[in-house]
């Protein structure tokens, strides 16, 4: 457990940040609440009895003050295109581990491109995309691989009952679209392709009781960055159920609403992760509730392993590279139910 160690949470008052703060407290850590909105921080700090430190991504000195005396920092503040690099820089100056919950493909690519050498040389630990998108899919594919050293392809299909996006999700999506322009990204043949055609719509056979569903193929998410960052798989594709894909892009879809005392919504999910080598197929399946809420146990479990030294890498590394995938996934029970078919 946390043993009273202080952990800075940048973007603590956001939708996901609040789940992360609650998870940290439940595991015995002392969250230090940080972000740029002084009023929101003060209200949250007063309610929870926690230290608050106003900081902005464009003010390095304020970030240094926010991280002072903490054991690690978790970045929950999007758009991550604006916050990732400054907060990593601050973590490197403070010589503490950095984790984020970024699902922005471009921000994840930037983290690997700009910080891999520096973090490794400094002996620092940087774990990007330690969230539902990016981290969980990577762990599932890594677990499904088992003793395989390489595979021909990896496929991660998301079966969401619905997707009511937060304001942060909408803002991050807008920033990604602005950076990307008129093309979409696809990872094939071991490299990124820029595509201008429409992604395919096809049927995916999810495990029962979900069954066959129409999905948007090449609905590229952060997993397509994290998986090939450490696994020898030249083709990585993610898929999203058509209804959920429609929800997240519609301006009329409402924000998530609480369905229980913890603040979780009634959204459910099934992730079907499949790796293929020749005619052989291996699969890992995860089931759970609320993609935003479940990010909290994911990133806080990662934090505990980082602080305790239960890691397999130094520098910038995704969840599947940094941790023992099978053991990590099983530690998430009962929030996430796991099935492995190897």
pLDDT per position as a tens digit, 317-327: 999 999 999 99
Q: How confident is the model at residue 179 (pLDDT cuts 50, 70, 90)?
A: confident
From the number of C-beta atoms within 10 Å of its C-beta (0-12, 13-18, 19+), residue 328 rates as buried
Residue with tokens 């892009």: 249
| Three-state DSSP class for residue 324 | coil
pLDDT band at 89 (very low <50, low <70, confident <90, very high): very high
Looking at residue 205, what is its pLDDT? Answer: 96
Q: Does residue 230 carry a pLDDT above 90?
A: yes
Give the range among 124-138, 160-174, 263-277 with minimum mean pLDDT.
160-174
* DSSP state letter for 200: P
Q: Which position has the token pair 């129409």?
A: 214
Percent of the chain with pLDDT over 90: 94
CB-CB neighbours of 90 under 10 Å: 26
Strands (E), 137-252: 153-160, 184-188, 191-195, 201-205, 212-216, 235-241
- The CATH 3.40.50.720 domain(s) of the chain lie at 6-131+295-322
Predicted local distance difference test score (pLDDT) of residue 178: 84
Cα–Cα distance for residue pair 105/129, rounded to 1 Å: 9
Dist CA 103 CA 173 (whole Å) = 9
If you compute the radius of gyration of the chain from its CA atoms, what whole number of angstroms results?
19
pLDDT digits (tens, 9 = 90+) for 5-41: 999 999 999 999 999 999 999 999 999 999 999 999 9
Q: What is the mean pLDDT of residues 205-214?
A: 93
Rounded-to-integer distance, Cα 190 and Cα 13, Å: 38
The first and second tokens of residue 222, run together, are 């952060």
Q: Where are the alpha helices (DSSP H) in the chain?
A: 15-26, 38-48, 60-67, 80-94, 105-122, 137-145, 167-180, 223-226, 242-249, 295-308, 319-322, 325-331
Which residue intervals of the chain bear CATH 3.30.360? Answer: 133-291+328-341
Is-above-0.95 flag for pTM? yes
CB atoms within 10 A of CB 235: 17
Position 170 confidence tier, pLDDT thresholds 50, 70, 90: very high
Contact 320, 142 (CB under 8 A): yes
CATH of the domain spanning 6-131+295-322, picked from 3.40.50.720, 3.50.50.60, 3.40.630.30, 3.30.70.580: 3.40.50.720
Reply yes or no on whether the pLDDT at 332 is more than 90. Answer: yes
pLDDT at residue 169, as a whole number: 94
Cα 179 to Cα 29, 123, 182, 221, distances in angstroms: 36, 31, 9, 15
Under CATH, which number does the domain 133-291+328-341 receive? Answer: 3.30.360
- pLDDT, position 109: 97
3-state DSSP helix/strand/coil percent for the chain, to nearest 5?
40, 25, 35
Q: How do residues 210-225 score in pLDDT, each as one tens digit?
A: 999 999 999 999 999 9
Predicted local distance difference test score (pLDDT) of residue 147: 96
Average pLDDT over residues 277-290: 97
Question: Which residue is associated with the tokens 């079966």?
Answer: 159
* Cα–chain center distance at 118: 22
Residue 143 is classified by DSSP as H
């Amino acid at each position: 457990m946390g043993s009273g160690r202080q952990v800075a949470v940048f973007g603590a008052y956001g939708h996901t940040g609040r789940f992360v703060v609650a998870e940290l407290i439940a595991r015995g850590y002392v969250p230090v609440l940080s972000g740029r909105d002084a009023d929101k921080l003060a209200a949250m700090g007063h309610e929870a009895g926690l230290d608050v430190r106003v900081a902005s991504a464009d003010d390095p000195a304020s970030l240094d003050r926010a991280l002072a005396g903490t054991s690690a920092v978790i970045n929950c503040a999007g758009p991550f295109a604006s916050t990732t690099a400054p907060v990593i820089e601050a973590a490197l100056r403070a010589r503490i581990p950095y984790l984020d919950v970024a699902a922005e493909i471009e921000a994840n690519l930037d983290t690997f491109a700009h910080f891999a050498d520096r973090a490794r040389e400094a002996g620092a630990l940087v774990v990007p995309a330690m969230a539902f998108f990016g981290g969980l899919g990577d762990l599932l594919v890594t677990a499904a691989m088992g003793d395989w050293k390489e595979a021909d392809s990896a496929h991660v299909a998301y079966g969401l009952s619905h997707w009511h996006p937060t304001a942060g999700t909408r803002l991050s999506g807008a920033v990604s679209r602005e950076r990307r322009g008129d093309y979409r990204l696809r990872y094939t043949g071991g490299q990124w392709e820029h595509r201008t055609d429409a992604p395919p719509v096809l049927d995916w056979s999810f495990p029962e009781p979900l069954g066959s569903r129409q999905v948007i193929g090449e609905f590229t998410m952060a997993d397509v960055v994290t998986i090939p960052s450490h696994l020898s798989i030249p083709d990585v594709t993610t898929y999203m159920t058509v209804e959920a894909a429609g929800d997240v892009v519609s301006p009329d879809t409402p924000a998530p609403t609480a369905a229980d005392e913890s603040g979780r919504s009634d959204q459910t999910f099934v992730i079907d992760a499949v790796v293929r080598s020749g005619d052989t197929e291996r699969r890992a399946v995860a089931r759970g509730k609320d993609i935003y809420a479940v990010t909290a146990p994911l990133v806080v479990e990662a934090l505990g392993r980082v602080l305790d030294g239960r890691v397999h890498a130094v520098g910038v590394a995704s969840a599947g590279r940094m941790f023992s995938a099978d053991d990590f996934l099983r530690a998430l029970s009962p929030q996430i139910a796991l099935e492995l078919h190897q």
